[in-house]
Amino acid sequence: MADKPILYGPDGQPIRREVLTVEIAGPTITGVRSPITGYPGDGLNPRRLASLLREADEGEPLRYLELAEQIEERDLHYAGVLGTRKRSVAQLDIQVDAASDDPLHVQQADMIRDWLTRDELEDELFNMLDAIGKGWSFTEIVWDTSTGQWWPKRLEWRDPRWFRPARHDGTTPLLRGDTGDTPLPPFKFICAVIRAKSGLPIRSGLARLAAWNWMFKAFTQRDWAIFTQTFGQPVRVGKYPSGATSKDKDTLMRAVANIAGDCAAIIPESMLLEFIESKNVGQGSDLYEKRADWLDRQVSKAVLGQTATTDAVTGGLGSGKEHRQVQEDIERADAKALAAIINRDLVRAWIDLEFGPQQKYPRLRIGRNEEVDIAKMSDSLAKLVPVGLKVQMSEVRDRLGYSDPEPGAELLVPPSVAPAAPPAAPALQAARQAARARDAIDELADQAEDVAQAGTDQMIDYVRGLVDGAASLQAIEEALTRAAPNMPRAQFTRLMRMALAMAELAGRADIAGE
């Protein structure tokens, strides 16, 4: 790792590189960052809840964050829907876009892609998304330089109770310490704030919304338990005669008490037991169940934006699909927010430490792969690139899901630059030449016929006239001898030359064919 220039954090202070490689926000058993938490939700009532929320607003969120943790542990429905929302984002695909096609930018993007293959990444993302419930989360980056390069060795989740917002703005996080609160060193923490509502981070988490709902649900569950215990089984009444002794009364009392647990007892013949059942047990139980279910549905709406994925009744035809779209909208928003946080607090810091400040940085994207119409995209590129549209090859590959080609890899090439076909076999070449020769001979034969046609017709007409006017065969012979000078010699001379040429070509074609 070569010496790097002095780097400055967002606060304008120099980066202390020696701090980046050690843990500074771990738990302390005897200090203020204790891993042991309190339980402010025990015996919670509206007055106590309002008090601890007010404390958080005034800059002391300790009890509120303990309550948020307690709600996740005790409310099964809230833990389920919140876990669904966090896991849906933590399991999404992650892509890294290089700043440009420059070799240095490609190298930076490949470095980040290599780091993303770590098995611990999904758990680390899940912990960062703790900000969805509590309003903020903190992950300490433990850097490693043993290989001569900066490398994020571990991302350690830190309890949000160990941080406190600065009183002057309610936003800047401070690390609790035995000697007081201290600002967070730059390039050392991933500070995630994912808001369910606008406002200060400590007031924007879902736990703030769920706290009141959880308290009212706890009241309902307590009353439901009392109702069930009281009216869920009939009241046992034991009757004794007027002359019963104290011993008889004690015997009857033990019998009545044992029936609740043992469902069996013995009593004297003179005593009587009656079981009095409540007539409205079903109606009263339904009231508590409906109230608890209604409160759970409100939590589903707050966390997932809908209820169809947590309740059996969807509320109408097609509503399940619409509710899933709402959940996907929330998932997409969480993914974009988390990607922006990681780009700001990890990617940019890493590139600065390893390469120095850059004008452009690689970008990490989290989300579902959007289906790309390859045919439509290819057609658009084929039409627009020739007319001057400039498109980065790396961007096109990222859109199509293809990685950058490795050095020496076998590449696909367009047909225009494909290697030439291997030469044909000698026998095949000879056959092709023979076929071409035969075609030429046929063409010459046609030309010879055209050349000889006029002379042949003239000669036949002349001979026919001599034969018709002769008296004997001897006379015909003498007439033909005298007619030799008048024969069409020029046409036959050309004909003979063509015949000799065709004979020679035919011989060569036969030799080539063999």
Q: What is the mean pLDDT of residues 398-425?
A: 68
pLDDT at residue 62 tops 70: yes
Query: How far, in Å, CA of 476 to CA of 384, rounded?
Result: 87
Distance (Å) of CA 425 to CA 207, 351, 508 = 80, 59, 19
pLDDT at residue 1 tops 50: no
Residues linked to residue 164 through DSSP beta bridges, in sequence order? 174
| Spatial CA neighbour of 440 closest among 394, 502, 379, 383 | 502
Give the per-residue pLDDT at 163.
96
Q: What is the mean pLDDT of residues 236-263?
A: 74
Give the per-residue pLDDT at 56.
93
Give the per-residue pLDDT at 488.
56
pLDDT above 70: percentage of residues in the chain: 71
| Spatial CA neighbour of 17 closest among 37, 1, 35 | 1
Query: How far, in Å, CA of 345 to CA of 486, rounded?
Result: 112
For 314-342, how does the pLDDT look when each residue is reduced to its tens digit (9 = 90+)? Answer: 555 455 565 566 678 899 999 999 999 99
Are the CB atoms for 127 and 90 separated by under 8 Å? no
Phi, psi dihedral angles at 143 (to 5 degrees): -85, 150
Angle, helix 46-57 to helix 62-74, in steps of 10 degrees: 130
Query: How far, in Å, CA of 132 to CA of 124, rounded?
Result: 14
Q: What is the mean pLDDT of residues 23-35?
A: 89
Position 412 confidence tier, pLDDT thresholds 50, 70, 90:
confident
Residue 392 tokens read as: 């980065």
Looking at per-residue pLDDT, the higher value among 396 and 89 belongs to: 89
| Spatial CA neighbour of 139 closest among 151, 123, 150 | 123
Distance (Å) of CA 87 to CA 130, 198, 430, 439 = 11, 23, 71, 76
Q: What is the mean pLDDT of residues 201-227?
A: 91
Give the per-residue pLDDT at 72.
93
pLDDT at residue 2 tops 60: no
Any idea how long the chain is? 514
pLDDT at residue 166 tops 90: yes
Residues linked to residue 138 through DSSP beta bridges, in sequence order? 158, 191
Give the per-residue pLDDT at 315.
52
For 282-321, how does the pLDDT look when each residue is reduced to its tens digit (9 = 90+)? Answer: 666 788 889 999 999 999 999 988 777 666 555 554 555 6
Looking at per-residue pLDDT, the higher value among 333 and 258 belongs to: 333
Phi, psi dihedral angles at 229 (to 5 degrees): -65, -35
What are all long-range contacts of 305-309, with beta carbons under 8 Å and residues at least 24 apart? 305/329, 305/330, 309/84
Q: What is the mean pLDDT of residues 72-98?
A: 93
Query: How far, in Å, CA of 184 to CA of 165, rounded?
Result: 11
Lowest mean pLDDT, pick from 144-158, 218-232, 281-295, 309-323: 309-323
pLDDT at residue 186 tops 50: yes
8-state DSSP, 423? P
Query: How far, in Å, CA of 163 to CA of 131, rounded?
Result: 13
CB proximity list for 71: less than 8 A, separation 6 or greater: 41, 78, 207, 210, 211, 214
Q: What is the mean pLDDT of residues 233-253?
A: 76
Position 440 confidence tier, pLDDT thresholds 50, 70, 90:
low
| Spatial CA neighbour of 176 closest among 311, 291, 28, 48 | 28
pTM, entire model: 0.66
Highest mean pLDDT: which range of 38-47, 125-134, 389-398: 125-134
